[in-house]
Amino acid sequence: MAKQCTRLLVCTKGKHCSANDGPSVLKKLRRTIERCELDQFFKVKKSGCLGYCRYAPVISVESYGFYYGKVRESDCQEIIERHLAKKKPLKRLLLPSKKSK
Ligand code: FES
């Protein structure tokens, strides 16, 4: 049975994320997914500002409705592995919900 595709939005167009490695994180996520041949499990899209500018660069795990902030290229492999296995979100990068921020 095919796994559901997880959608990741990477803020690359917002002012803060574009100046704080958003584009590099996007590239790293895409490269990791391609290298591991996981294209059928993940879709990675560029995004405008996601409303968490002070945590730049920011990723939205759109499929699950949560956000990661201050993401580094070195976090990308772990994010992919975590969501491929459908484990709980990475707490150290998880941002507060928009209602409580
Ligand atoms: S600029 Fe990326 S979240 Fe606002």
pLDDT in tens, 40-64: 999 999 999 999 999 999 999 988 8
Task: Name which residue sits closest to atom 1 of ligand 1, judged by CA.
Answer: 14
Strands across the sheet containing 42-47? 42-47, 6-11, 59-61, 66-68
In ligand 1, which atom is closest to the CA atom of 14? 1
DSSP for residue 54: G
The predicted pLDDT at position 83 comes to 87
- pTM comes to 0.91
Do residues 9 and 45 touch, judged by C-beta distance below 8 A?
yes
Task: Quick: pLDDT tens for 63-80.
Answer: 888 999 999 999 999 999
Q: In the chain, where are the structural domains located?
A: 6-84
* Fold held by 6-84: Glutaredoxin (3.40.30)
In ligand 1, which atom is closest to the CA atom of 53? 4
The predicted pLDDT at position 1 comes to 46
